[in-house]
Amino acid sequence: MKIVRDRWIHLAISIAALTAMAVVLPAQQKTTPPRLPQINSAGQLGPQPPVGSGGCSVTAPSCADVAPAIIQSALGPSSFAQNLRRFAGETPGRKNVEPAEARAVRWAMAAFRKAGVDEVRAEPYALSPRALREIGIAAKRPLWGQNVVAEIRGRMQPNDYVLLAAPLDPGGHSSAAFDAACNAAIAIAAARAIHAAGTRPLRSVRFVLFTGGRSGTIGAWAYVRRHRAALGRVDAAIFYDRGAGRVTGYALGGRKGMEKRLREALVPAAPLGALHDTYGARLGDENFEFLLEGVPNLVADRAPAADSGVFSKARIAILKHQAALAALTAYGIADFPERLAPRQSRAEVENLLAQTGLEKEMKARGIWSFWREAKRARRP
């Protein structure tokens, strides 16, 4: 036990030192951070992983190397600010006639490639007015769009994965659009940080940027419909949305039973700040589509952002801190020896809806029938 305790004390000291250097490194300081394990270069597509058990779980021997490497990459120099400006529609230059969403999808795919993921693709969807009515969305014309999907493959169970998701909602100048831009940039930065760590988790990490947010949760529902047969392989779905303030913890969507393993998986993230889980479940966000399918999901709880919508060094530093946390959350769960929680059956989901009060909300909004008819939910 003393060896394990000493290892985590050493890890906490190392991470604290890296964080301090990333935020306030004096100009005259000549000391450079220690050389960290590196197996690939920035922007390389399809890096070759080492064969071994290194990772960020409590039982893996190399966590003291991996966690500082992830944090150093997230907090250090990167294209984070450039990506944020692009997604927020504030990139200077000649006016572009390309539709805002198409441009954002193209930028996101290029940014993920530069981050070093193994694969990135756009997944198009198109829904007719009739199909939209069947899931409770009134529309007079078809809705279409593209989700962006990128992946870093796991070293031993590549077909099982943890999903890290954020909205991609370009073209607006509201605070909500700026918050969406922040979270899209966080997801890309998290992919870059995991790649730069030089190792891979046990399972894959899949990054998804959902479009269609201004029409409800269309992008998330389209993803669920497309991948429904494989949802049993999703160990957890992590969502960064609803603001851009400091993350205070994760909402567990009514599934308090998975908190113990989550806390164990996130031991390497402890030096980034105290995290406090909540247990409620919300209606109307992208994670709701996964909750209805029984997939364990975590939603980042945020403190209010006093300077939302402002580009500044302080804002970028806060967002980079969140990218480090997002990366360690995804990596830690993907590398944990056991699954975070099983996928719930339809009966279990219905019981959760009743216990969390979501059933009453769904009935009040007139969408309970879509659950009962299994048009927008896990099927029997």
Contact call for residues 62 and 54 (beta carbons, < 8 A): yes
How do strand 234-239 and strand 203-210 relate by DSSP bridges? unpaired
286 has a pLDDT exceeding 50: yes
Residue 41's CB: how many other CB atoms inside 10 A?
10
Longest dimension (CA), the chain: 67
pLDDT, average across residues 152-160: 93
SS3 159: strand
- Cα–Cα distance measured from residue 352 to residue 18, given in angstroms and rounded to the nearest whole number: 41
- Cα–Cα distance measured from residue 214 to residue 48, given in angstroms and rounded to the nearest whole number: 39
CATH code of the region 2-18+52-372: 3.40.630.10
170 has a pLDDT exceeding 80: no
pLDDT in tens, 11-31: 454 444 444 433 333 333 333
CA distances from 27 to 20, 24, 49, 79, 81 (A): 13, 9, 36, 22, 22
pLDDT in tens, 178-202: 888 899 999 999 999 999 888 889 9
- Cα–Cα distance measured from residue 254 to residue 278, given in angstroms and rounded to the nearest whole number: 8
- Cα–Cα distance measured from residue 56 to residue 60, given in angstroms and rounded to the nearest whole number: 6
Q: How far apart are the first and last CA of the chain?
A: 46
Residue 214's CB: how many other CB atoms inside 10 A?
14
- Cα–Cα distance measured from residue 67 to residue 271, given in angstroms and rounded to the nearest whole number: 10
pLDDT in tens, 291-306: 999 999 999 998 887 6
Note the residue count of the chain.
380
pLDDT of residue 137: 76
pLDDT of residue 197: 86
Contact call for residues 333 and 250 (beta carbons, < 8 A): no
Read off the pLDDT band of 66 (50, 70, 90): confident
pLDDT in tens, 222-231: 999 899 999 9
- Smallest CA-to-CA distance from 286 within 166, 369, 162 is with 166
pTM value > 0.85: no
| Percent of the chain clearing pLDDT 70 (strictly above) | 76
Contact call for residues 296 and 35 (beta carbons, < 8 A): no
- Cα–Cα distance measured from residue 258 to residue 297, given in angstroms and rounded to the nearest whole number: 10
More confident residue, 267 or 111: 111
- Smallest CA-to-CA distance from 10 within 56, 73, 63, 54 is with 63
CA distances from 245 to 89, 298, 307 (A): 20, 17, 9
Average pLDDT taken over every residue of the chain: 79
pLDDT of residue 210: 94
Contact call for residues 341 and 255 (beta carbons, < 8 A): yes
**Domain assignments of the chain as residue spans, ordered by start:** 2-18+52-372
Q: What angle do CA 326, 306, 164 make, to 5 degrees?
A: 15
- Smallest CA-to-CA distance from 207 within 225, 189, 231 is with 189
Contact call for residues 326 and 190 (beta carbons, < 8 A): yes
pLDDT in tens, 324-354: 999 999 999 999 888 999 999 999 999 999 9
pLDDT of residue 214: 65
pLDDT in tens, 27-40: 333 333 333 333 33
Read off the pLDDT band of 308 (50, 70, 90): low
